[in-house]
Structure 1
Amino acid sequence: MNFFVEQWPLITVAIAIILLLVLIMGFKLNTFIALIITAFTTALLLGMPLDKVVVTVETGMGGTLGHIALIFGLGAMLGKLLADGGGATRIANTLINRFGLKNIQWAVVIASFIIGIALFFEVGLVLLIPIVYTIAKETKLPALHLGIPMAAALSVTHGFLPPHPGPVLIAKEYGANLGEVLLYGFIVGVPVAIIAGPVFNKLAKKIAPTAFTKEGDISSLGKNVHFKLEDTPGFGISTLTALFPVILMLMATIVKLIVGAQNITPGNGIKALYLLGDASTAMLLSIIFAIFTMGLGRKRPMKDVMQSVTDAIYPIGMMLLIIGAGGAFKQVLIDGGVGKHVETLFTHSDFSPIILAWLVAAVLRIALGSATVAAISTTGIIIPLLAASDVNVALVVLATGAGSVIASHVNDAGFWMFKEYFGLSVKETLLTWTLLETIISVTGLIFILLLSMFV
């Protein structure tokens, strides 16, 4: 009985996860509504004062969206401008033409990685799959031969690199510098994308050979803008537009690291660079830049360019609400004492916050399906541990992101998208997509742990 009382915070978390699963999978409730119900129920189970429950939920939702909405919204706009202006098409086709048939997988990985930085996972998938199918037909290669490298690169950028919602969200909650997350995310993400893409592709052909004979159905992607290559912007300007926010953030981060190492007092010039490299400023400047490079400079009317900006926001409205609800659930876990309880359990242990963050996120991802919900729920448990640890917080962000992409299966929308687009059976999808996501997660953790020895 004492054990039951002592461990009630953790038992409550288990009940909350089961409740969330039942609401989403059993009752088919919208994820946002299910998360809000779970947040309120968890608050009551943890014995929070009744007059504090609503305040905690509102604080969690507002605090999370206050920072996220700006970067998330601007990121969606940048991706849409790149897609509608033909920049993404130019990047993909140029790299594929230059690498040739023999190295086409590498071309797909690099193109998807660059495009994946600017475009959210689902948008990148919808944009790149028709290109992959066209190239597959022209080269007489199986669609999945190119699909695995593409999915690997998109998934890595989604899990590790700002301005994607997961890394931005986790960094905000942990108080990590986004530029550092981006820098370390590149160091980890590049080898992970190679291992999960071209390297894993060879194994996938052996364990699921029938998957490489299938013809998928991309009719559900609807009307796609098709560009003649000569009607698209140049490769250089397209790549610069996609990477513009990354360049600004990395410049500021590198300067910040040098200033810190040399104990230099930042002057106004350095502070101005910090402002330019802040994620919100970098994204805003990137939008202004893209309006010209992907719009006005291409003789597109301002009305059409602004329509792209407007269209970018509609698909992310519900995602913003889900992220906000996840923030509410996270705040309930913290204010309800779950975080403190976990901190007490691990204060005198040698258990690394990096491994714990990955483990918690992985368990939640397998149970809940959503990488974003798994990531934000993890933060409520891990945050109290960070104060008592000297671990690099940016690496804990990446570890949480790595854990949150593991083992995508039947409760994840990405699983079904991949299955349908490539015409696979459930078994074939588990042997390709699910295994691919697991490789990203596990190899990501290994590289993060290796990096932690040096930073």
Structure 2
Amino acid sequence: MPLLIVAIGIILLLILITGFKVNTFVSLIIVSFIVSLALGMPLGKIVTSIEGGLGGTLGHIALIFGLGAMLGRLIADAGGAQRIAMTLINKFGKKRIQWAVVVASFIVGIALFFEVGLVLLIPIVFSIAKELRASILHLGIPMAAALLATHSFLPPHPGPTVIAGEYGADIGLVLLYGIIVAIPTVIIAGPLYTKIAKKIVPVAFNKTGNIASLGEQKTLQLKETPGFGISVLTAMFPVLLMSISTIIDMIQKSVGFKDNTFEIVRLIGNPSTAMLISLVLAFFTMGIQRNIPIKEVMNSCTSSITAIGMM
């Protein structure tokens, strides 16, 4: 019976959000009250339980969300994401342009939240498609697939971060397994699916479209952006720190070292610590090293927080 009540609660939640367009946060609170009452929870404990769940979840994800959003915004505003995308596209060449978009979007997607990566990469995809006289969907579908896969499977993105916290899973392991799952997912849902879609709906690949709805885009000359290597390093740095910590932890357990042998590595590889160290690195690589005033760097950080407030 409790499982049935929870299932009904989830259905009600979906109806409120998708059917009645009620704000997600408000819907969750309403359904929490209804499910609590249906489960027979004492009236005096309902609010305490909801507050405890809310506080526990926020305590786990707030740092990772906040620091991750700041890191992504710094890389985007400095032109690091643009440099990564354009360099890979130029290196892969016209024949392998689709794979260039996949790799670039995957790297950018790790560092940037989905909506930021999408708005940043769509103009690049449009300009490349126009230059090469290729279909927008031919490049756009692989781009979206890569961004969605990183958003769905890889911390510090919201979904996998929250789920790892709720299940008490090691975020480093979630990241490693997420990459293993995400790579074939992107290949199937991106380039392979595009080939099938072209045969099923060929007319869709003749559409040109426009990006006027995105508004005015901030464009930088490639020479004004950070170098490719430092941009990739900054974007991937939290992944590297968390992965190293997880791999060493796995080796330690199999070899049988004492728990305190690699305490400093565990501290550095902790998701919150890794994100903080990566953000400080970004202050330097995306800001100070490029003679960008610290006030402007902090403005980028501040603007990024507005995107995760309701999340």
TM-score normalized by structure 1?
0.67
Aligned equivalents of 1:84 and 1:92: distance in 2? Answer: 14
Aligned equivalents of 1:252 and 1:22: distance in 2? Answer: 41
Is residue 177 of structure 2 the alignment partner of residue 168 of structure 1?
no
Aligned equivalents of 1:203 and 1:42: distance in 2? Answer: 44
From the superposition, tell whether residues 276 and 34 of structure 1 become closer, same or farther in structure 2 (CA, over 3 Å): same
From the superposition, tell whether residues 26 and 152 of structure 1 become closer, same or farther in structure 2 (CA, over 3 Å): closer
Aligned equivalents of 2:7 and 2:241: distance in 1? Answer: 42
AA paired with 1:315? A
Aligned equivalents of 1:216 and 1:60: distance in 2? Answer: 44
Please identify, of 177-186 and 288-297, the stretch whose mean Cα deviation from structure 2 is larger: 177-186
Match of 1:53 in 2: 46
**TM-superposed deviation, 1:267:** 4.4
Is residue 297 of structure 2 the alignment partner of residue 305 of structure 1?
yes
Is residue 63 of structure 2 the alignment partner of residue 70 of structure 1?
yes
The equivalent position to 2:31 in structure 1, one of 23, 33, 38, is: 38
CA deviation vs aligned residue, 1:255-283 (integer Å, no higher than 9, x gap): 11111100111445x21111111100000
CA deviation vs aligned residue, 1:332-351 (integer Å, no higher than 9, x gap): xxxxxxxxxxxxxxxxxxxx
Match of 2:90 in 1: 97
Aligned equivalents of 1:27 and 1:186: distance in 2? Answer: 36
Q: Please state whether the residue corresponding to 2:301 is helix, strand or coil.
A: helix
Identity of aligned residues (%): 63
Matches within 5 A, 1:245-394: 245-267=238-260, 270-319=262-311
The equivalent position to 1:140 in structure 2, one of 124, 130, 133, is: 133
Match of 2:231 in 1: 238
Please identify, of 223-232 and 67-76, the stretch whose mean Cα deviation from structure 2 is larger: 223-232
Q: Please state whether the residue corresponding to 1:163 is helix, strand or coil.
A: coil
**TM-superposed deviation, 1:108:** 0.5
AA paired with 1:197? G
Aligned equivalents of 1:85 and 1:18: distance in 2? Answer: 43
Aligned equivalents of 2:165 and 2:15: distance in 1? Answer: 29
Q: Please state whether the residue corresponding to 1:70 is helix, strand or coil.
A: helix
Aligned equivalents of 1:271 and 1:121: distance in 2? Answer: 33
The equivalent position to 2:211 in structure 1, one of 218, 223, 237, is: 218
The equivalent position to 1:79 in structure 2, one of 47, 72, 80, is: 72
Q: Please state whether the residue corresponding to 1:102 is helix, strand or coil.
A: coil
**TM-superposed deviation, 1:204:** 1.1
Please identify, of 198-207 and 99-108, the stretch whose mean Cα deviation from structure 2 is larger: 198-207
Aligned equivalents of 2:246 and 2:10: distance in 1? Answer: 37
TM-score normalized by structure 2?
0.97
**TM-superposed deviation, 1:42:** 1.1
Aligned equivalents of 1:27 and 1:73: distance in 2? Answer: 30
Q: Please state whether the residue corresponding to 1:318 is helix, strand or coil.
A: coil
Aligned equivalents of 2:193 and 2:24: distance in 1? Answer: 32
Aligned equivalents of 1:22 and 1:263: distance in 2? Answer: 51
CA RMSD of aligned residues (A): 1.3
From the superposition, tell whether residues 28 and 182 of structure 1 become closer, same or farther in structure 2 (CA, over 3 Å): closer
The equivalent position to 1:128 in structure 2, one of 108, 121, 125, is: 121
**TM-superposed deviation, 1:10:** 3.3
Structure 2: gaps of 5 or more residues: none
**TM-superposed deviation, 1:224:** 2.1
From the superposition, tell whether residues 266 and 47 of structure 1 become closer, same or farther in structure 2 (CA, over 3 Å): closer
Aligned equivalents of 1:267 and 1:159: distance in 2? Answer: 33
Aligned equivalents of 1:251 and 1:14: distance in 2? Answer: 39
